[in-house]
Amino acid sequence: MPNNHSVYIGRFAPSPTGPLHLGSLYTALASYLDARAHGGLWRLRIDDLDTPRNVKGADDAILRCLERFDLHWDGEVYYQSRQLDHYDEVLSQLRQQHWLYACHCSRKTLGTATVYPGVCREAGYPFDDSSAWRLKTQDIFIEFDDALQGLVRQNLARDQGDFIVRRRDQIIAYQFAVVVDDEQQGVNHVVRGADLLDSTPKQIYQQGLLAYPQPHYLHLPLIVDEHGNKLSKQTLAAPVDDAHPGATVYTLLVMLKQNPPSFLQNAPIPEQLAWAVAHWQPQNLGRIRAIESPRSGLPG
């Protein structure tokens, strides 16, 4: 069941693989507004476990960017890289309960398989540094009611198969780390992009195994370019132009379908945010998975 703690605790969790782009700032703004509209806390987490992809100084650039847009977080910044001992402790718990097994499969071995076929499930390989660690799934349905996208229902065993929680390079997998992180930070409301909608059943499944409370979820439509590609560093999305932050915030409020009044277009950011918090209506976005990035109307 969802976590019903009385105090709303949300979060924004960027990866330090480069500067924030419009899509990531859009998500940050939406999660911030949802938290503040509920009188809640907004935590900041730096998802820096995937060390080969991290860019030196990117975490500081992200913090400066958020501050430039008056998106001020509560408490200290949480870094995944400082939680390694805790991840190991929880993984040890799952091992002792026989939920994990060592896997020697490579992408080449699996070929085009989209559902892991369980090749190594009964192989009995040792838990060493030459193996990935997979979590056993069960032939049951996981379902949740997303605040924007509606009912989501998935059978993990049939639709995805056993999944990796610790990679062969010893890096903790996102699907596992995010569950532990949200528990550690007390997060009970998750606002993020719809590209992660299919990941949520995996996370709810692990929350159940670990007796963690389940957060409420709201998955936002993605911002895509004119070719239908999600704005991301991989698609070379441009960094946020922070030279005209007020104009950018106004544009994002339009993209979030909040219908900001025209007088806010040249207003200071605190005034824009105060209006947006007071009038926050995420349901205006509807049950859609993507919206196109504006080709004009952005500063710069």
pLDDT tens digits for 36-68? 999 999 999 999 999 999 999 999 999 999 999
Q: Read off the amino acid at residue 297.
A: G
Number of Cβ within 10 Å of residue 105's Cβ equals 19
Any binding-site annotation on 65? Answer: no
Task: Using the predicted structure, report yes or no on whether residue 227 has a pLDDT greater than 60.
Answer: no
Angle at 117 between CA 114 and CA 121, to 5 degrees: 135
pLDDT at 223: 86
Query: Do the beta carbons of residue 152 and residue 8 sit within 8 Å?
Result: no
Any binding-site annotation on 116? Answer: yes
Of all residues in the chain, what percent carry a pLDDT higher than 90? 80
Any binding-site annotation on 233? Answer: yes
Quote the CA–CA distance of 236 and 21 in Å, as a whole number. 9
Query: Tokens 């782009």 sit at which residue?
Result: 21
Any binding-site annotation on 15? Answer: yes
pLDDT at 299: 42
Any binding-site annotation on 56? Answer: no
Quote the CA–CA distance of 148 and 186 in Å, as a whole number. 22
Instruction: Write the DSSP assignment of the chain as a string of letters.
Output: -B---SS-EEEE---SSS--BHHHHHHHHHHHHHHHHTT-EEEEEE----GGG--TTHHHHHHHHHHHTT-PPSSSPEEGGG-HHHHHHHHHHHHHTT-EEEE---HHHHTT-SS---TTTTT----STTSEEEEPP-SSEEEEEETTTEEEEEEHHHHT-SEEEE-TTSPBPHHHHHHHHHHHHT--EEEEEGGGGGGHHHHHHHHHHTTPPBPEEEEEPEEE-TTSPBPSTTTTPPBP-TTSHHHHHHHHHHHTT----GGGGGS-HHHHHHHHHHT--GGGG-S-SEEEPPSSSS--
Sign of CA dihedral 246, 248, 251, 252: negative
Closest CA to 7 of 240, 249, 185: 185
In which band, very low, low, confident or very high, does the pLDDT at 300 lie, cut at 50, 70 and 90? very low
- The predicted model scores a pTM of 0.90
Any binding-site annotation on 69? Answer: no
pLDDT tens digits for 231-267? 555 544 567 877 889 999 999 999 999 999 999 999 9
Any binding-site annotation on 12? Answer: yes
- Strand-strand pairing, 132-135 and 78-79: unpaired
The CATH superfamily holding the domain 9-81+178-292 is HUPs (3.40.50.620)
Mean pLDDT value across the chain: 90
pLDDT at 193: 94
pLDDT at 230: 64
pLDDT at 109: 85
Section 146-156 average pLDDT: 94
Any binding-site annotation on 24? Answer: no
pLDDT at 297: 38
pLDDT at 244: 84
pLDDT at 298: 46
Q: Delimit the CATH 3.40.50.620 region(s) of the chain.
A: 9-81+178-292, 84-175
Any binding-site annotation on 13? Answer: yes
pLDDT tens digits for 267-284? 999 999 999 999 999 999
Any binding-site annotation on 103? Answer: yes
Quote the crossing angle between the two packed helices 174-185 and 200-209, to the nearest 10°: 60
CATH 3.90.320.10 fits 84-175, yes or no: no
Quote the CA–CA distance of 242 and 234 in Å, as a whole number. 21
pLDDT tens digits for 98-142? 999 999 998 888 888 889 999 999 999 999 988 999 999 999 999
